[in-house]
Amino acid sequence: MANSKVKINSINNLSNNYYKLDKINFDYQLKNGSWQQQSRESYDRGDGAAILLYNPTKKTVILTKQFRMPSYLNENEDGMMLEVCAGLLDDDDPLTCIKKEAEEETGYKINNPTKLFEIYSTPGAVTEKIHYFIAEYNDEMKMNEGGGLEEETEEIEVLELNFEIALTMISTGEICDAKTIILLQYAQINKLIS
């Protein structure tokens, strides 16, 4: 930590139940040179990886559908979310993680995903940084039905959608997950499927 405008005074752990929630009290130097005391909570759930599987020949993408409690608590009527395949790194590097997640969640065994970039998802409250990938898929790469791991309490529906329909689902609000919108729009801008 090399920002001379930040002096951390204390870090108090508020919860270490499933992930880690800390309250940080610190001094922050303003533009006018004065120091201001501030306090923030920071949620550390680890970093993650996400991937868009796309087929330029069929003009399709693979998305997942699953229940997300936080969205349900914030006006998502049934709590179901359409998303790209994603998961936490845990002890894996991003590439190993996303290959494993793709097979567990979607049933597709991918070999050469391309890393695009890393993005902090909610930097005002969450430490998580997501590593974004894309990879082409075809029917021969389907190893199983996917659906996630029972021991991780995952119940994931795998969907193969027409790319143009998936893009339309952003404007209708049917797709409202940030990582999914980012990757679909990346594919559109870079004409991965035309």
pLDDT in tens, 55-104: 999 999 999 999 998 999 999 999 999 999 999 999 999 999 999 999 99
* Residue 85 identity: C
pTM of the model: 0.92
Angle at alpha carbon of residue 70, lines to 69 and 75, rounded to 5°: 100
Mean pLDDT of the chain: 94
Q: Are 40 and 12 in contact (CB under 8 A)?
A: no
pLDDT in tens, 112-127: 999 999 999 999 999 9
Token pair recorded at residue 66: 């699953």
Q: Are 134 and 128 in contact (CB under 8 A)?
A: no
